[in-house]
Amino acid sequence: MIAGRSSECSILSRIKRMASVPSGSQLKVGIGDDCAVFRPRGGAEDLLFTTDMLLDEIHFRRTTHSAEDTGYKALARGLSDIAAMGGAPRFCLLSLAVPRWADQAWVDGFYRGFLKLARQTATPLAGGDLALAEQLACDVVVCGAVPKGGALLRSGAMPGNGIYVSGKLGGSALGLATGNGRAWKRHLRPEPRLALGRFLRERLHATAAMDLSDGLSLDLSRMCTASRVFASIEPPPVFPGATLDQALHGGEDYELLFTLPPGSRPPASFEGVPLTRIGVTTKVRRGDPPGKILLEGKPLPPLGFDHFQNS
């Protein structure tokens, strides 16, 4: 393992220091949010960029995940990051390293699953790369757009904002554990919340947002760290059959986590997906680093999925 016991977070902050952005750059948001935000000169829109790797035995298993499901998920993860910024996808790029076991039928199935979701979400495939390798690996770049200055960031929450989640959490973790039923389908085919992301930006004026990819406890802690606040929450809505632990710490739900200004009255659901208030952001106590979460008054450790600690 390249990283010893470092956490993904500490590796990222080291890289961030090394890759400093010159002042005056058109890059408005760099490393550390769901997408990078780039502002073209004279444009009415900001462009969003996200890149996600999908690796054999880490993100899927070819014994249990069909080629179509794998292709679908490869794109869904990037689209979820565009949704988290309140954006609309514009196009995508796909690089695929193909091992010997992946025959033509598998590769065709992968592209079928990928391109079906691409068509459904108006995200045309614009290019990429193909290579032969020992293990299957794929990297997907998605470009999206938001009106200039409108991107929802992780860093915008203020003390006193309501904290909300979409959907019911823990379904993907339950599906991975049981391998059947609705939860397994949730795990295989997460739905990027693109329409909800735009609704959060346009109608609810969300102050911060991100997608739940690594588990509520870890992702909320990341959002609170970026916003320099604490959070005080109650148990989130739990996917039928899942445990509270799976809902708090399980990854890959790809629901949206967001904050709203005080006094906001969001609808109870959006296009059939429940929107639930789970708590409130609070002021950082002097001497304590931001990012701390209290669940029913007790500290909640960020136990979600960290690729460099859970391996």
Binding site for Mg ion (CB under 5 A): 34, 81, 211, 213
Phi-psi region of 123 (alpha: psi -120 to 50; beta: other; left: phi over 0): beta
CB nearer to Mg ion: give 34 or 139: 34
CB nearer to Mg ion: give 83 or 284: 83
46, β-bridge pairs: 146
Q: Give least dist CB 76 to Mg ion, A.
A: 12
Tokens 């890289």, residue located: 15
Q: Give least dist CB 201 to Mg ion, A.
A: 16
Specify whether the CB–CB gap between 34 and 50 falls below 8 A.
yes
Other beta carbons within 10 angstroms of residue 168's beta carbon come to 19
Tokens 């002097």, residue located: 286
How far, in Å, CA of 253 to CA of 95, rounded? 24
CB nearer to Mg ion: give 37 or 102: 37
Q: Give least dist CB 210 to Mg ion, A.
A: 6
Q: Give least dist CB 178 to Mg ion, A.
A: 25
When CB distances to Mg ion are compared, the closest residue is 34
CB nearer to Mg ion: give 68 or 81: 81
CB nearer to Mg ion: give 34 or 253: 34
Q: Give least dist CB 216 to Mg ion, A.
A: 13
Q: Give least dist CB 211 to Mg ion, A.
A: 4
Amino acid at 253: D
CB nearer to Mg ion: give 34 or 46: 34
Q: Give least dist CB 35 to Mg ion, A.
A: 8
Q: Give least dist CB 183 to Mg ion, A.
A: 21
- Widest CA span of the chain, in angstroms? 59
CB nearer to Mg ion: give 56 or 211: 211
CB nearer to Mg ion: give 52 or 68: 52
